[in-house]
Structure 1
Amino acid sequence: MMTIGLYFFLVPDALVGGGTGGIAQVINPFVPVPYSVSLFVINLILLVIGVIVIGKEFGGTTFFSVVLYSGFYALFEHYYPVSHGVSDNPIVNLVLGQVLLSSGVGMVFNAGATTGGVDIIAKIMNMYLPVTFASAAMFTDMTILLLNMLVFGFERGLYAAMGILLGNLVVDRVITGGSARYQVNITSKNYLAINEFILHEIFRATTIYDAKGGYTKQERKVVTSVVDREELLRLKNFVSEIDENAFMYVAPVSEVLGRGFSFEVRQKRSSIVKLRERALKENKK
């Protein structure tokens, strides 16, 4: 789905605004290689940087997504070459292409994987600079968008900017129905590791409170927090790794004020590996 949106609708009309697709679109007129090769090389370079800086646990599913994404694009280039978009109207190509591309991205996220790309740059900026992941991602996309404007003209750049906004809306809708912030409540025997992950890996405040099972009558600890879309996906993956029996529910919220949202907060980064080891020890008790 991602490749169809990119190949048949966006790339032929130079409508890719951000991401590695946008970078490949900028450099492709100046290098004698197919778009799919540029796309794969850029993603591979960023993936290697991500593994070195972020950690080896980052690379597995991301590499698989990159290979499939670029591979399908190469197949289309070889067996079904195109020189223009499906429609003669750039707005039609923009809307259809972004809906297909962003729906595919949302499905990849829901499957617990990632498409990598410039999100790697945003993650690194979030780790080492006093900026949120969302702000870092917006900065990288805007930089790529400006480069596209310089190469393909102001009008195409405006179309691409509209595409970025539409794409973000579609991804949000596919993942959780459109909300930008989500309250999470997690009941788990590994609540300490989950609490540490939220505090020191995604930098959000938490509340821990006591609860009792209505059926089992057992005492439990519940961790609650408010996170954004990208953080929610990371948290879901972490919880499923350390406690497959954890109970977690997610609810969209309309507004969040306070620590970590209305102003920035930075904390010392902990190790995910250590958190997993702690969770395994707790499971053996």
Structure 2
Amino acid sequence: MLKRIRRTRSAGARMRTADEEELSRVHVDPDSAPPAYEGSAVIQAADLQTPEEARESERAISRRDAPGTLRLVVALNVGVILCALAYVLFQGPSSLAIGGASGLSIVLSSAVPGLPNDVALWIVNAVLVVVGLVFVERRAVVWSVVASVALSAYVSLIQWLIPVTASLTGDLWLDLCCTVLLVALGNAIAYNAGASTGGMEIVVMALARHTSLPVGHAVTVANGGIVCAGVVLYGPRVGLYCVLGLLVQTVVVNGVLNDLKQHKVCTVICRWPARVEEFLVRELSRTATITRGYGAYSGREVSVIMTVLTRAEATRLEKYLREIDPDAFVTYVNTSQITGHGFRWV
């Protein structure tokens, strides 16, 4: 009985101690507590920049908002060249009909004896261009039409420079891997700049516009039909490779695209918040959201700086923070879905 009373008293003491600690935390007044960090209060970006610097920052933001014609053309050509190399060196010789205009041209070349792959691709893309101009709004399809013509031209050029009639590796699995990697990288580069590599995207836009099919289902219908034709023409072994290639290509494109679009959400707490704000505005042409906070343990007031940067800009910020405040507290969170002024155009 005595032991039970002692345990009860001990438990009551622990409860009172916990209650007292809770009350002490609740009654911390951050406004009356001394600041934990030195540095001036939040200042306006307009006070950090001269009018000329402000105009230059606005121009830099505008350049980030829109890709620009030159960047668009360069990205489109790089993406199309990678797809053309995959088609000539790996996909065509192994008859890998893994969807898209290239897969449809391989099916057509096999169905019509004596028809070269590059000529079949010209025929397929010509039909797709007509479909796009007739069934899709011309403004929406213009870059897809350009990419379709460019793909056919690059395939013919590479086929003329590097005549390939048989598999370079002699291994269907290696050809599939090389095809998927090159095509996925080419598509991701083009998509990241706001362009495309053309081809079956025109059919997808036409199906989505004139039927009730969602875009995702339209892609499945268009590419699924090509893969099924490959199974019939080349047998179950090659057909299953085509199915696998289509699935893996989708995953790789999404992965590469997310990596290209990746940004860093940076949260900074340091001794010199005003200097960090000035660095963001002057040097990086970025802005930030400043909030007031206080430490849960100390109750001291701090300035919390939150900004979104590219990976290169985040590296520059990290280097600057090491110079002015090695003890700065910084967190980085990866994100690839950002829209708004200064990032992707909406």
TM-score range, shorter chain: 0.5 to 0.7
Partner in structure 2 of residue 115 of structure 1:
197
Partner in structure 2 of residue 26 of structure 1:
107
Partner in structure 2 of residue 81 of structure 1:
163
Q: State whether residues 208 and 218 of structure 2, in contact with CA within 8 Å, keep that contact through their aligned partners in structure 1.
A: yes
Deviation readout 1:208-234 (Å, 9 max, x if unpaired): xxxxx969xxxxxxxxxxxxxxxx99x
Q: State whether residues 10 and 94 of structure 1, in contact with CA within 8 Å, keep that contact through their aligned partners in structure 2.
A: yes
Partner in structure 2 of residue 128 of structure 1:
210
Q: State whether residues 51 and 58 of structure 1, in contact with CA within 8 Å, keep that contact through their aligned partners in structure 2.
A: no
Q: For 2:222, what is the secondary structure of its paired residue?
A: helix
How many Å separate the matches in 2 of 1:126 and 1:68?
Answer: 24
How many Å separate the matches in 1 of 2:141 and 2:113?
Answer: 27
Partner in structure 2 of residue 242 of structure 1:
none
Structure 2 residue 260 is the aligned partner of structure 1 residue 168: no
Deviation readout 1:256-279 (Å, 9 max, x if unpaired): xxxxxxxxxxxxxxxxxxxxxxxx
The normalised TM-score by structure 1 is: 0.61
Structure 2 residue 249 is the aligned partner of structure 1 residue 146: no
Greater Rg by CA? 2
Q: CA deviation at 1:31?
A: 5.0
How many Å separate the matches in 2 of 1:175 and 1:47?
Answer: 26
Which of 139, 163, 180 is the matching residue for 1:57? 139
How many Å separate the matches in 2 of 1:102 and 1:142?
Answer: 18
Partner in structure 1 of residue 182 of structure 2:
100
Report sequence identity in percent.
21
How many Å separate the matches in 2 of 1:60 and 1:11?
Answer: 27
How many Å separate the matches in 2 of 1:171 and 1:58?
Answer: 22
RMSD (Å) for aligned C-alpha atoms: 2.9
Instruction: Indicate how the Cα distance of structure 1 residues 62 and 249 shifts in structure 2: closer, same or farther if over 3 A, else same.
Output: closer
Q: For 1:26, what is the secondary structure of its paired residue?
A: helix
The count of corresponding residues between Structure 1 and Structure 2 is: 193
Q: State whether residues 172 and 178 of structure 1, in contact with CA within 8 Å, keep that contact through their aligned partners in structure 2.
A: no
* Correspondence 1:203-242 to 2 at 5 A: none
The normalised TM-score by structure 2 is: 0.51
Q: CA deviation at 1:150?
A: 1.2
Partner in structure 2 of residue 209 of structure 1:
none
How many Å separate the matches in 2 of 1:68 and 1:36?
Answer: 12
Instruction: Indicate how the Cα distance of structure 1 residues 131 and 177 shifts in structure 2: closer, same or farther if over 3 A, else same.
Output: farther
Q: State whether residues 50 and 58 of structure 1, in contact with CA within 8 Å, keep that contact through their aligned partners in structure 2.
A: no
Structure 2 residue 87 is the aligned partner of structure 1 residue 10: no
Q: State whether residues 143 and 195 of structure 2, in contact with CA within 8 Å, keep that contact through their aligned partners in structure 1.
A: yes
How many Å separate the matches in 2 of 1:248 and 1:101?
Answer: 26
* Correspondence 1:243-254 to 2 at 5 A: 246-248=341-343
Give the aligned residue type for 2:190.
V
Which of 28, 43, 60 is the matching residue for 2:125? 43
Partner in structure 1 of residue 52 of structure 2:
none
How many Å separate the matches in 2 of 1:116 and 1:157?
Answer: 24
Instruction: List alignment gaps of at least 5 residues for structure 2.
Output: 1-81, 262-287, 291-335
Deviation readout 1:42-100 (Å, 9 max, x if unpaired): 12221221122221113432232122211121122222211222211111110111101
Higher mean C-alpha deviation, range 166-175 or range 24-33: 24-33
How many Å separate the matches in 1 of 2:174 and 2:156?
Answer: 24
How many Å separate the matches in 2 of 1:70 and 1:43?
Answer: 7
Q: CA deviation at 1:247?
A: 4.5
Partner in structure 2 of residue 271 of structure 1:
none
Runs of at least 4 residues off by over 3 Å: 246-250
Instruction: List alignment gaps of at least 5 residues for structure 1.
Output: 180-212, 216-231, 240-245, 251-285
Give the aligned residue type for 1:4.
L
Q: CA deviation at 1:131?
A: 2.2
Give the aligned residue type for 1:52.
V
Q: For 2:163, what is the secondary structure of its paired residue?
A: coil
Q: For 1:70, what is the secondary structure of its paired residue?
A: helix
How many Å separate the matches in 2 of 1:19 and 1:135?
Answer: 15
Q: For 1:153, what is the secondary structure of its paired residue?
A: helix
Larger relative contact order (CA 8 Å, sep ≥ 6)? 2
How many Å separate the matches in 2 of 1:214 and 1:104?
Answer: 36
How many Å separate the matches in 2 of 1:24 and 1:3?
Answer: 13
Q: For 1:12, what is the secondary structure of its paired residue?
A: coil
Q: CA deviation at 1:167?
A: 0.8
Give the aligned residue type for 1:132.
P
